[in-house]
Amino acid sequence: MNDYRRRVKRYQSRVNYHVKEFFKRMNEGDVIQAAEKAWGAISAFVNIYAITFHNTEVKRDYRKREVLEEFLNEIKNFDLEVEELIAKEYRGHTGTLARSLWNLHSFFYGGTSIKDEDVKRYLQHLYKLLPILQEYSNIIAEYYLMG
């Protein structure tokens, strides 16, 4: 088994772990930890996507944001839930959604000045988006590991 195959399996496990932890932290009211768990799931998802479709991993967070935006642009016209979220909450701009999620990561480290109400709104959007990304991560990983 090549190294990328092992990494895809590891990233898939991380997506599943972080999504579960996101919901746990949200139920506990710990929005700071929930924000970091959300970014952990997104980060792992981005690497599954990048390995599968670009044959590379993404290390830098700003690049992860860009690759997430690329993925969202690819699927938004085929996935009604994603399209609706982007259209309704982000005026059709996948870049705005990707930046908002990246800001949650910065929020965890105190590196952003986003308002508390924006943090809560972004986290509410993740209630919809994270299970979708989790489903895509499982499909993409399965596809990659079969090949």
- Mean pLDDT of the 83-109 span: 86
Q: What's the pLDDT at 109?
A: 66
Identify the CATH class of 3-146. Answer: mainly alpha
Q: What's the pLDDT at 111?
A: 61
R_g over Cα of the chain: 15
Q: Domain residues of the chain, as ranges?
A: 3-146
Quickly state the pLDDT bin for 104 (edges 50, 70, 90). confident
If we measure between CA atoms, which residue out of 102, 37, 91, 32 comes closest to residue 67? 102
- Tens-digit pLDDT profile for residues 43-53: 999 999 999 99
Between CA 123 and CA 55 the distance in angstroms is 30
CA angle at residue 139 from 5 to 40, to 5 degrees?
70
Question: Dihedral of CA 32/38/40/42: which sign?
Answer: negative
Residue 1 clears pLDDT 50, i.e. is over it:
no
Token readout for 66 is: 């860009």
- Tens-digit pLDDT profile for residues 11-42: 999 999 999 999 999 999 998 899 899 999 99
